[in-house]
Amino acid sequence: MGNRRVYIASPARLEQHSQPHALVQGWLWNYSLATREWPRESAPPSALAPTMFLSPTLFLRILEEHGGHSRLTSKDYLEGAPELVAEIAPSTASLNAREKLDSYRRAGVREYMLWRTVDKAVNWWFLEDDEYHPMAPGPTGIFQSRIFPGLWLDSAAAIAGDGARVLATLQEGLHSAEHAIFIETLKGVRPSK
């Protein structure tokens, strides 16, 4: 077995975990529906690397046929690193911000978003040269994914539990020129059926 590390989730609290989880899941679900060919994922356990088995709260991945770094095994598990991991952390913020951050970095997760609900803060990192760098929100407080064009997050709205504003900001991102170009790119590289 080697030196495998397993993380066990603590019981979920409604306002500190379940409701934020639902909001982020809706945000990612709406993005993936609008982006068509890319699968939307929830939280199946994933073998990110031979010695790493984690269960991210939520993630988005790019299909292997389109250059993604993860694939489904014959037993329907995810193997390899999804491109984006989103975590909701009420009481385990230090674990998520240190150990999981390092695990996701080593596995090659290209973006990691952490919503620290007790701290009322959102952090977003991007992977460059095998190191995570903090992503700063734009001047209006909007985070914009580097990997998934049009995936915009109004972190203040998320923290306030304002799902309507979170989705309105996402719609702005989905109507951006970057997302339109991404959609056109998808049309040119559809996976074979």
Percent residues over pLDDT 70 in the chain: 73
Residue 86, CA distances (Å) to 30, 47, 181, 187 in order: 15, 16, 24, 27
Lowest mean pLDDT across 28-32, 119-123, 158-162, 188-192 = 188-192
What mean pLDDT value characterizes the chain?
Answer: 80
pLDDT value at residue 150: 96
> Taking the alpha carbons of 92, 72, 53, 128 in that order, is the dihedral positive or negative?
negative
DSSP conformation class of 154: E
Instruction: Report the C-alpha gap between 139 and 27 in whole angstroms.
Output: 21
**pTM above the 0.75 mark?**
yes
Closest CA to 81 of 35, 37, 127, 123: 127
CATH number of 14-186: 3.90.1570.10
Structure tokens at 160: 């306030």
pLDDT at site 50: 45
Reading the block at residue 18, the tokens are 């379940």
